[in-house]
Structure 1
Amino acid sequence: MGLAFLALLVTLILGTAGIMLTEHFSFAQAFYLTVQTITTVGYGDIEVHTEAGHTFLVFLMMGGVGVMLYFAGLMMAFLVEGQLAGVYGRRKMNKKIEQLKEHIIVCGAGRVGRQVLNRLRKEGATFVVIEQQEDLITELIEEGFLVIHSDATQDETLKKAGIDKAKGLITALPEDSLNVFVTLTAKGLNPGIQVVARMDKLESEKKLLRAGADKVISPAVLGGWRMAMSILKPISVEYLETVIHDHNIEMEMVELRVDDGSCLVGKTLSTSGIKQQTGAMILAILRNNQVISNPGAEEEIWQGDLLIVLGLREQLHRLEQVAANITKFSIADKTNSSGLKEEVLG
């Protein structure tokens, strides 16, 4: 399209200049006669008097009309096929991507990546996807996803996706080597970003961790574990899936970060009032990269602890109110690499 417009512009410039030189017309007359010629309108209100002018116009008719017809054909195709609307939509989408902050970048929208996108959308997360395959891009745009059509391994692509403002990146490309490269690139551009990487081969885990991935997940391993447990402990698996994935119930599992100044610091689980006043259940405590599973009532809460809490939505909301009544308290939504909601108790 750009080349056709350039050819038309050059034709108009050459035609106007040639008529001005051969017929000594003014710029307005020469331009008017050039447009008449290439559009085949030919009002006949301007006459050519010299042989040089006639000769020049013959060549202008032969070449200029062809350029004009080619340009007009492309314009019709552009409008009929809806490309004009597509360009406008792409610009609008790019502006939305530029305004993203604290979002998640998803690299790859294949089988695994598509499941990631669906889950992020259900959780209400803000994210953008990078994909190269044209057919997948068309489907994603039609479904309302923010999409960048480019190579995720390139620095400029990640910069366009707002890597410097993003809080997390999920690389779900089909090859482990590509995921390693994306992880290295992402950590180089934003060392503090949380990276979750997909792996197919078990030997790739160490490479991805060395590249800077915070979490490495194998769909094959998770799928195999789930299938085995569905046979061995079907009721337990079904219950966990219902709690975590079923949005028709109000049960949620969240992570609560105990911040400096929280009313919970220094208290045990029994004296904190979490269970007694809210009904929410503390499943585990993550402390200094160690997990305390099924903590006892006398387990003390430390600053920086990550409490994994299970409860109904109203119970979790009550936990917020209880803490707010005891001392100055704030809860800020956050998403970590595990995909659970993380909230900060301060």
Structure 2
Amino acid sequence: MKRNNRLESASYFNQVMIILSGSVISTALLRRFRLPPVLGYLIVGLLIGPYALQLVPGPDDLHFLSEFGLVFLLFSLGLEFSLARMTALRHTVFGLGSAQVALCSLFFWSVLHYVFGMSSEASLITAGALGLSSTAIVTQELTRWNELNSVHGHSAIGILLFQDLAAVLFLIMVPALAGTSDHSFSLAIGLIILKGFVLFIAMLATGKWLMPFIFHEVSKTRSEELFVMTVLLVVLTAAWITHAIGLSMALGAFIAGMMLGESHFKHQIEADIRPFRDILLGLFFVTVGMQLDYQVLISNLHWVVLGSLGLIASKGIMISLLASMLGKDRSSALRTGLVLAQGGEFGFALLTLALANQLLKPGLASLIVAIIVVSIAVTPFLIRFNSRISLMILPDKPFEPSMPHDTRELAEATSELEGHIIVCGFGRVGQTVARFMKKENLPLLALDNDPIRVQEAAGGGENIFYGDSSSRKVLEATGVSRARLIVVTVNEYEQSLAIIRAIRDLNQQVPVVVRTRDDSHLEDLKRAGATEVIPEALEGSLMLVTHVMSQMHIPFRRIARMVQTVRQQRYQLLHGYFHGGHSQLIDKQGNPLLRLHPVQVSPTCFAHNKTIADLKLSQVEILNVHRKNAVIESPDNNFIIQSGDTLILQGMADHIEQAESRLYGG
């Protein structure tokens, strides 16, 4: 008996090792091609499953663990399901979102039931699976290409929020569809919805009154282990309660996420739970892939291709038409359709539940999963090139990155402003600027593309409007031609560049002050039309130097003169720094970073007794020379280098390497 238990444990361990090894390799390969990891998990499941290499007999042994992946996915979505965000996007969520789910589900149900002859129950669940899009992939790709706050980005997020709600409803419906006859279905679904509603109210009340007290007490212990265990206990308890009353465990996890999403501990919980979610969710997708029969897929390859094209085309067209009918311009409506044309991870979850409840046949489920997989594989390319595709389809409609904002209303609200300051981006930096301007009673107007921030700031009395600062229409409405100063405080370089160019197209004279993280794009922003560029990292260094020198009792006038000189020289003294062994060679935009590197000259070096002009170091600058106890700043070309000197070189990594070889060997 003990031997059999050991064999079973060894077999289970081998299965987990095979899955982890395959997942690591496939995910690493897909990352190189910028494809979503979910495809890697599905491919691994297909290869190692019972229909291919048979390295893992079947998904049943891993079903319990994989279901936890779905539980943690729903919990994470619940955390993000902010009631404030829902309120800010309520028109898109409940208008466009509900219309999209209803229209797409009805269309797919009709096709599956009347054209392909599927049962009403199977058609309904499959239609729900095809009607939902991928929250994780769409959000990730929109963020990657800086389109999350565009018109189509906001439309997509609003629709996805409603889809999350609809997915919960579909999860509730699956056991009701499987366990009842036609005449008792309405009674059963009504009873389950009533249970869900009562549970929802009870758990939200618990989250408001009990959970803050518990987590406050746990946080007092300052124990990370206790905090993580408490989060896991809350998630699993909620899942256990819903399972015990006949509902889905995923539903309980979603409500638990909403329960904790409004607390002050939301971000810490999200950070702590992410490793568990990603690992278990990967295992869930592997088990989905194990249910794919490649022979069925090969024999029905034409249906997979046609189904994927049909899904993307029909869903994209329906969403585009709905968005256009509900007031979006044609370009933004089309781009919204392109972004959401795929199936999603909830589709896998619904199909898995339908299989477990015997609502679908395995072969049919494999075919539908394959169609969703292909649509997901195409999604990164659709999102990346959605602007170009839109221009190809609507060549007479050039893309204008405007926001869903009535510019006439904005123009009327700002018509009396003259000589005002426009702040583009109302994050921490923008709000700091606004506070100082208000103290001086200077007229100020702020633009931001975060609807929640705009709503909260406007409620706090700020003169802020919702809009895209890179849109010429929005800038015209703010009175950019009458503005005295424009301050750009957004985080992203590309967005800052677009804003500056839009401003200069409308007003060549107004001063534009731009905040940036570092000095990597200082010259580019200047060339685009920025009057002043303030790099945060370098200004922080200057502030620190100011405090250090004042503590050393250096006269304030001397400190101020030195700091002002550095600013006038465009921070030349602060460019570059000594990099450690783990430092990057490029910045986040892929541009080479300036480095500082010391080179000590010995009697045998080529540079000994040579002038700087003799060295011909065209791509590297010698900032200063350390000679005994003296430092020679910015030596000229006639300066003679001697043995014992230490030269501080500034330049790119490869240029410094070439210069060092030149100094040593000639």
Please state which band the TM-score falls in when normalised by the shorter chain: 0.3 to 0.5
The answer to which structure, 1 or 2, has the higher relative contact order (CA under 8 A, 6+ apart) is 2
TM-score normalised per structure 2: 0.22
TM-score normalised per structure 1: 0.41
Please identify which structure carries the higher helix content: 2
Structure of greater Rg: 1
Please identify which structure carries the higher strand content: 1
